[in-house]
Structure 1
């Protein structure tokens, strides 16, 4: 028999062996983690020093950097570097190379007797299989999955024999509410939904053109699985079914489709993932280039507000914890330094569309540079295809702004009762009570941001030929 001493010795050896094994494992893990951290550091260093990224900044500001004089100098330096240069618009052939599948799905021409951009798509394979089972929107969002489950029951109504082939009707949006965030897009969406001839997507913001198309699920995230165009088109099938029933009944339909992703106007942060081998500092193709190539007659609505107020609202809505006027001020100061640092080595558009900079800034300064985005949209779409509103005017007189929208979308006249229902609807997505309790931003923050946005607002007012877009108190009461 083994003595108690020998048994203890054997047990100690096992414990010692296990300890050594764990120790070796920890050492190995430490080495691997160290190596990964080194790679991350090297990659980050490259990204921050590369001319294409043009980001060389120190995120830790000294007390003297936060002085009023130093910050004014930063803003003045930014203003001196602001140059509005025309962009190079890519040829359609270049876009097709980048998004071959997308252009293989949508045709060059749409049905002539339908107000929406619609066409018949040939069905291949087993038509009895659930057409929405693999849809990535349905897999990602439970409410959409529920809609698809209902649609799958009536899917056979979408299948028709056209020109001797089994086909289904497909439609793109007739119009887009393209931006900007925290400027009243939700309120426009909710009021437009009350119009009897308007059908908007669920969810309000598919973010397909700016993000899901490239596999990005949230702002600033890295790409995963790309959502194909077919999955985006499925979101419009509820209204497509109504349009198809009108076509089969030889009757006209005034129904129009739309969606309201507030990122469409400005968010091109994922451009490097699509153009990874590009050597330029600016994205060679933007969201609007692809939309224009696919549907050149589309119509767009943008609603803007004083960019100073927009930024604070954005901070209050998307900020996580420890929100305060002081915290907002510090984040604004840090972001201004970063933006100015970028402009030392790069042009305005390169910094506005710089993914690294935008992810590094703790407040989204660039979203309020409305004129940069508007000029880029006007490089491919005509002025009469973009309706630009101000939130301040919409809040003051929603009936007038909605009438402008209905006219822009070529919608028929409404009854007085329906018009009152739309215009008197309570405002949507207003500031939360907990955020209102934080009070306004500091006066010095407001002054700093007003100086920063001023040259951009002035140029915006020139482009739109409307002085109210300077958000200058004097022009408000002129």
Structure 2
């Protein structure tokens, strides 16, 4: 009948009861119930409501017609036969656009702030490419630009270099240009904020600068097709610090003047990507830290124990007065530490990513499992990236010697047992949290 609210219904009922009772004082009940004139008075409210509803409906149709006329040509596209089985999936099947969902607005970059990516529209990716690529005008010509199809997000000293090599060994995978080992760019965690690898100042690299790191790959991708005309080559970014290094957050324009960030790396990547593929390798954080210490010029197991004892005290003192996130994301705190002990808080960073991306966007591995069965792990990675392979090829590349094995590690003594106990206790709570988040007890590292 088009009723609007309980209050409106109450007023209508009171009026209709009064109408009926007035009639029944002068006529029989049957007369009042069977009267067309009385019934018509009772329909007046309905007619008024119906007329209002039709007015609103017509206004809605007019707005819809305008939107279709104004924007329809932008939304129309030919669905490639490959879209449902390779690369980027149709827009309707993708995860929500978090920049819209969280109402993150373009505010523009101020002095000493990083480029505001929310002032940029998401690239219109071409469905005939497995890799996220799009055409843009440059110097009066249409040029193909590409972003990474996959990201090895982390974690440092967990086998990311070795895995990146085994992925790039595939004939359909390309590296980046003008980057470290065709692997690391550190755009999302450092150079977009104007920091070097060691967090020293440098000229910032904007989004256009980041795209240029894949120009060589874009040319290969453009000129390589299957028999059906599909471009099946891909490229990737294996910057392991992207997962956990949020220390540039104060330079994100939306965070200006805030005590804690509302926008971080996952939000930025969500604005740019539609269907990203993230690979994470977690290693027992205690072992990871010692390996990291050795790589960064560590001297001895005893010195490592002294450094860890001091760094744990710094972090725990900070956490008594601030949130865990504040202490882990602070550049000032990090500069006082002798080790990168903050990188082992995997669950804290994982929860930040899962606020923005669903769990299925991540392939999560353990370093220890690769040591036991490298072929099984590589099969999982190739399947995740939708790479074709034969068992012979898989066996060959899985048996290749490990990459980036520290030579100094062989000359330094094992970690002291007292240091291991200290770190296992310190990280224990966060290992339990990670196992809970991922619903996998292997990440307790009990054996």
TM-score (norm 1): 0.67
Residue from 265, 268, 273 that aligns with 1:295: 273
Structure 1 residue 376 corresponds to structure 2 residue 391: no
Structure 2 gap ranges (5+): 1-100
Runs of 4+ deviating beyond 3 Å: 89-92, 94-108, 246-250, 273-281
Partner of 1:45: none
CA distance in 2, matches of 1:426, 1:248: 32
Partner of 1:93: 105
1:355 deviation in Å? 1.2
Deviations 1:21-58 (A, max 9, x none): xxxxxxxxxxxxxxxxxxxxxxxxxxxxxxxxxxxxxx
1:403 deviation in Å? 0.7
* 1:147-166 correspondence runs (5 A): 166=141
Deviations 1:259-299 (A, max 9, x none): 10011101111222445974443223211111111103111
* Larger-gyration structure (1/2): 2
CA distance in 2, matches of 1:100, 1:274: 8
* 1:15-414 correspondence runs (5 A): 91-94=103-106, 102=117, 107-124=122-139, 166-202=141-177, 203=180, 204-221=183-200, 223-246=201-224, 251-274=229-252, 278-319=256-297, 323-412=299-388, 414=389
SS in structure 1 opposite 2:241?
Answer: coil
Deviations 1:433-476 (A, max 9, x none): x3322211111110000000111001111111110100012xxx
CA distance in 2, matches of 1:263, 1:166: 36
- How many residues are aligned here? 340
Computed over aligned residues only, the root mean square deviation of the Cα atoms, in angstroms, reads 2.3
Partner of 1:154: none
Partner of 1:463: 437
CA distance in 1, matches of 2:137, 2:121: 12
Greater RCO structure (CA 8 Å; 6+ sep): 1
Structure 1 gap ranges (5+): 1-88, 125-164, 474-478
Residue from 433, 436, 441 that aligns with 2:415: 441
Deviations 1:237-262 (A, max 9, x none): 22211222247997112211101001
CA distance in 1, matches of 2:160, 2:187: 17
CA contact (8 A) 1:92 1:293 kept: no
1:90 deviation in Å? 5.4
CA distance in 2, matches of 1:264, 1:296: 18
